[in-house]
Structure 1
């Protein structure tokens, strides 16, 4: 299947998500113009260990040993200057570009039409790519957890609409940025100047593995977001987004975070860093950010 695109324009909000982070224009007069979309031909699906940001899921032994996301989790009490943490930031794939909404909305996105989806993209039903896509759709179709509002978006416009419907128009999107192309597993030190996003209400969008960009976006009232400066043992510098969950009582007791941190659901706040291609939306923080002491 060949998918060609066009520029995205949104009179209220313009968004650009790509290599090196996220740029957002909110409230502009003409929107933010993106380069033309490229076609998806042949299709590309980033097959990788299942991301641990679906809190209904239990972690397998293989995930505990093989998943690079294991190191992303830490306890809230450790979110402070001079904390040293083992981390690896993996680079996001940039092979696929966002589809404009009018194109994305013409493509089926449901388990009921999964065979049709595979046929459209010429993907074999028994392939690893097909299994990864099926997991993504299943994750998107499952009901939200208690206190969560969720929505899987298949276009930039849909992401903007969902986020601003929860937060209002005066928002900013932020993502983790790492200054090196390849970051090896190493010890990172949290530097002075940890910033807490002023508003307690945030929308977090997690990139999903699919044939074109899909983001699992969700909003809860028990999530806090921070911007953390990190320096690695080899000199790598990162401006990382940390998301902390103050109530984990509804998570799967065998979720990856509990197994890694050796804690039980609902006992302590749990935090994790966002990979580079995940996005947090919050009230604009240039004027309102609180400095965490």
Structure 2
């Protein structure tokens, strides 16, 4: 992430525009794979449809165990996301996301000066999932560093991208896409990636 570095990037935005439900409402609705018929009925989703499959996959992903060293949680309301974040990072936190000023097409982006490392080596990263209402898969991992990276595209598009670097990948699945792309093995080198626009990184401001 050095100034002047040029990369082919496209910052995708999830087409799922579902918003959070109030916590009281979200907590009153089942969120479990053994309650799928009830959930489908609640949201008038047809069993066997693509939407039903996406919702089932989201729930199963949330129910699966995390990898070693990962504390995971699926937030079904903004309040629950903040509570999980506070429990891992303390009360003084900041939420950052990738911001793109222009079209999100594939093009060459150049890193400008001003790359900034966020405080601490622990963060909570929350990824938007496909569901009937907003659900974020959040996970807290140690040995993780977050950066804000100013970028400019060939067409003049400006972006303030959020990059996350995982310095310990020893517990990751050896078949993880990152290892295939980089042609490296788990635990050998840090793995860094940019986050899509609708993902959120929480960092401590202490």
Same fold? TM cut 0.5: yes
The one of 23, 26, 51 aligned to 1:129? 51
Superposition deviation, residue 125 in structure 1: 1.5
Equivalence for 2:77: 155
**Partner in structure 1 of residue 128 of structure 2:** 207
| Residue 225 of structure 1: how far off its partner (Å) | 0.4
Distance 2:119 2:85 in 1: 16
Structure 1 runs of 4+ off > 4 angstroms?
none
CA distance in 1, matches of 2:136, 2:180: 26
Paired with 2:44 and 2:124, the residues of 1 have a C-alpha distance of 34
**Taking CA–CA contacts closer than 8 Å with sequence separation of 6 or more, which of the two structures ends up with the larger relative contact order?**
2
1:230 to 151, 172, 176: 151
What SS is found at the alignment partner of 1:213? coil
Distance 2:47 2:203 in 1: 39
Structure 1 alignment gaps of length 5 or more: 1-78, 289-293
> Equivalent residue of 2:46, what SS?
coil
Q: Work out the number of aligned pairs and report it.
A: 206
Equivalent residue for 1:186? Answer: 107
Using the TM superposition, give the Cα deviation of residue 91 of structure 1 relative to its aligned residue in structure 2, in angstroms: 2.7
Q: Measure, in 1, the Cα distance between the counterparts of 2:12 and 2:47.
A: 28
Cα drift, residue 200 of structure 1: 1.2
Which deviates more, 117-126 or 225-234?
A: 117-126
Q: Distance in 2 between matches of 1:277 and 1:202?
A: 17
Gaps in structure 2 of 5+ consecutive residues: none
**Structure 1 counterpart of 2:99, from 172, 177, 192:** 177
Question: In the alignment, which residue of structure 1 is the partner of 2:188?
Answer: 267
Could you say what the CA RMSD is over the residues aligned between the two structures, in angstroms? 1.3
1:275-290 matched pairs, under 5 angstroms:
275-284=196-205
Displacement of 1:94 in angstroms is 6.7
**Residue pairs, 1:1-293, within 5 angstroms:** 79-93=1-15, 95-180=17-102, 182-284=103-205
Q: Do the aligned partners of residues 94 and 254 (structure 1) sit closer, same or farther apart at CA in structure 2, a change above 3 Å counting? A: closer
1: CA distance, partners of 2:182 / 2:44 = 41
